[in-house]
Structure 1
Amino acid sequence: MGGGLVVEIPGAAPLELVSGVVHLDEERAVFEAMLTGWGRQQRSRLLSEDTVTARVRLLRRFTEFAGSFPWQWTPGDVEDFTVSLMTGTQRLAPSTIRGYHLTLRMFGDFLLDARYGWVAQCEERFDAIPSQVCRDFNTVAHLAEYEGRPQRRPFTYDELQHLFDFLDTRVVQVQRSGRKGAWAAMRDAQMVKTCYAYGLRRRELCTLDLPDLRPNPKMRQWDTYGAVHVRFGKAGRGKVPRRRTVLTAPEFDWVVAGMRQWVEEVRPILGRDRVEALWLTERGQRISVKSMDHRFAWLREQAGLDSDLTLHCLRHSYVTHLIEFGYPERFVTEQVGHSYASTTAIYTSVSNDFKNKTLQAALARVYQEEQQ
């Protein structure tokens, strides 16, 4: 298509700016049209509403910081913005800052793409055109596979035992006190144990429904608790949530009794037979990820555990312990829903005891062969 014709695709300037209309604040009007257009283009790629909203919010924040609009931005504005993010008590992690840079870079690429017509609009209206302000020399490079907080780690076996003992004791104490909430204490305990026993992400845990509990033909005595079907796994960019079935491992078979008690004895007390959500609030609604985060933070504090141990650390513990139990790498990767074994390796942090036993076995094998 020649002649500089702009195709009317999602996010194109002609779809967002009405020809012939004079705006009292033209700069602001064009900027808002850019954001609306980019949001439309992002949604056309099937990105979630939360992702689009967060990215647009960042662009507004950067515009306010720079004190100028996209056709006036410079690489120096990015550098100053980055410095502001790395100073003070609320210093952001490198991975977060890199994510901000990526958003700014993608927005710049969108504006400079001739198919959308924003360069022509800026040149006609402001006698200026936007440029790519995110370059290799002023953005965070992705040099390490894992950039999370180093304080985050798997639970040790002792910490897990302490946490589970605390949860069980809390249920008994609430029951004996005669106070309301014994079933809620049971729910909290079983949610935490299920998160660990199946290596689930927080959203995967909270979105489980009763039909997601599946049998394992090899272990009929577990009834419908031989596996959980995850329907809302982490989605790739612009893709739908990935599904997987996580089998109940024999080392975690203790979760079956707790799950059976919750589903068959405790949950029916709420009288919400028509609600399929596995985990319910006091009002009979599905418990949210945010609510579960708050619940776990409170439980962790009451148990006297390290504040850096989050609910997601239980997933790291699951991966680590499966490796220590001797499961093949491919099995572990499939269980936790990773696309690559290298991602699973990042989650793994085997104990010194496991490494010592592995080394002892290797020494015995090698030196026995030499003596023969």
Structure 2
Amino acid sequence: MHLDEPSAVFEAMLLGWGRQQASRLLGQATIESRLALVRRFAAFAEAHPWDWTAGDVEDFTAALMSGPTRKAPSTIRGYHMSLRMFCDYLLDGRYGWIAQCENRFARIPSQVCHDYNTAAHLVEYEGKPARRPFTYEEVETLFGFLDDRVEVLARSGRKGALAALRDAQMIKTAYAFGLRRRELCYLDLADLRPNPRMPAWGTFGAVHVRYAKSSRGSTPRRRTVLAVPEFDWVIEGLRQWVDHGRPLLSPGTRQELWLTERRGRVATKSMDKRFAFLRAEAGLPKDLTLHCLRHSYVTHLIEFGYPERFVTEQVGHSYASTTAIYTSVSNDFKTKTLQAALRRVYGSATTHEGKNDH
């Protein structure tokens, strides 16, 4: 008999649940985070799964919602989902844990997460309210700062001009093609594609995204994002980086589009830090993240008049409703749209400026 039988059984449960998730082709990071959450909950409850109660979940949730490290509603919902799935696994008769617990401890596990003590998903978007698309003025401010920074470093002769050029072009590419952080960092030279309808753009008329977001154990989805005429300024920047900037790093046979000074791929986490630093230096609000540029891309394409279906395919969304969440058109756009509708319905002679019928 094991010296600590309850702990041994608990670890066996976790091992089995981990194997079940791996069999569904879920990512290792997802599996490990869920296992860590279950261990964290067990430590909080000071009990093993066969002794957990619904009250333990409620106390755990209350702790998550208090203090300086208060968790976001979406995070708490994810925790609830993980605990619910673990309990479902234990209660599945095909795995035998009910009989094991009854024979060993004279108790059996139960489902401690139910509709009345877990967070409900009531709205489509639960991100921070301060997170929003960049305005046109903010995009111009950011890009102007990035260009000036490259020029200043190059004139001064100080180290860092090449890295500044790379960072500037990465951020511009993220916006001009509506890319996620991982999609941006994992681009290779081979992912730069021509657009047959615009031969003048050479191999920079489209980017082939191979590391898009995956779901439910699937491999990353792929898509090709076409350059649009409104953002054709990105073409020359990409050409400058590929033909003149990147070769200065002596890449040899390496295929990564964005290389560090040590000839490694720019990491996604370091890109977040770089962007936060540059955004602060440009004097822009701290809530504007790199991902906000993707929201800006969607918003601006809609304002340019591109069909919803085209925008949805460009950004790799499965549903138009997801694209709609990203869209936050400007008041100026709304005003022009309304004016066009008024002219269409009432005729060009109709004006409402300065009128008061009451």
2:58 maps to a residue whose letter is: E
SS of the residue aligned with 1:246? strand
The Cα shift of 1:273 comes to: 2.4
> What is the Cα-based RMSD across aligned positions, in Å?
1.0
Instruction: Work out the number of aligned pairs and report it.
Output: 350
* Deviation, structure 1 residue 369: 8.6
* 1:72 lines up with 2:72 in the alignment: no
Q: Which residue of 2 aligns with 1:206?
A: 185
1:284 is aligned to 2:263: yes
Deviating beyond 4 angstroms after TM superposition, the runs of 4 or more aligned structure 1 residues are: none
CA distance in 2, matches of 1:194, 1:102: 36
TM norm structure 2? 0.96
Aligned counterpart, 1:161: 140
1:187-226 to 2 correspondence within 5 Å? 187-226=166-205
Give the aligned residue type for 2:313: E
Alpha-carbon shift at residue 236 of structure 1 (Å): 1.4
Task: Give the structure 1 partner of residue 309 of structure 2.
Answer: 330
Q: Which residue of 1 aligns with 2:32?
A: 53
Distance in 1 of aligned mates of 2:252 and 2:288: 35
Corresponding residue number in structure 1 for 2:277: 298
Distance of 2:252 and 2:181 partners within structure 1: 24
TM-score (norm 1): 0.93
Distance in 2 between residues matched to 1:26 and 1:310, nearest whole Å? 48
CA distance in 2, matches of 1:335, 1:273: 32
What secondary structure, in the 3-state scheme, does the structure 2 residue paired with 1:36 have? helix
Residue 92 (structure 1) shift: 1.2
- 1:55: how far off? 0.6
Aligned to 2:60: 81
SS at match of 1:218: coil
- The equivalent residue for 1:357 is 336
CA distance in 2, matches of 1:54, 1:171: 40
Q: What is residue 92 of structure 1 aligned with on the other side?
A: 71
Rounded to whole Å, the distance in 2 between the matches of 1:258 and 1:89 is: 43
Q: What do residues 334-369 of structure 1 show as CA deviations (whole Å, max 9, x unaligned)?
A: 000000000000000000000000000000111019
Alignment of 1:1-372 (within 5 A): 22-368=1-347
Q: Which runs of 5+ in 1 are unaligned?
A: 1-21
Kindly state the Cα deviation for residue 40 of structure 1 after the two structures are TM-superposed: 0.9
Query: Secondary structure in 1 aligned to 2:95?
Result: coil
Please give the alpha-carbon distance, in whole angstroms, between the structure 2 residues aligned to 1:370 and 1:52. Answer: 64
Alpha-carbon offset, residue 272 of structure 1: 1.1
In structure 2, the residue matched to 1:18 is none
How far, CA to CA, are the matches of 1:273 and 1:344 in structure 2? 40
Code of the aligned partner of 1:308: D
Corresponding letter in the other structure for 2:29: D
Q: Structure 2: any 5+ residue segments left out of the alignment?
A: 351-358
Deviations 1:318-343 (A, max 9, x none): 00000000000000000000000000
Q: Percentage identity across aligned positions?
A: 71
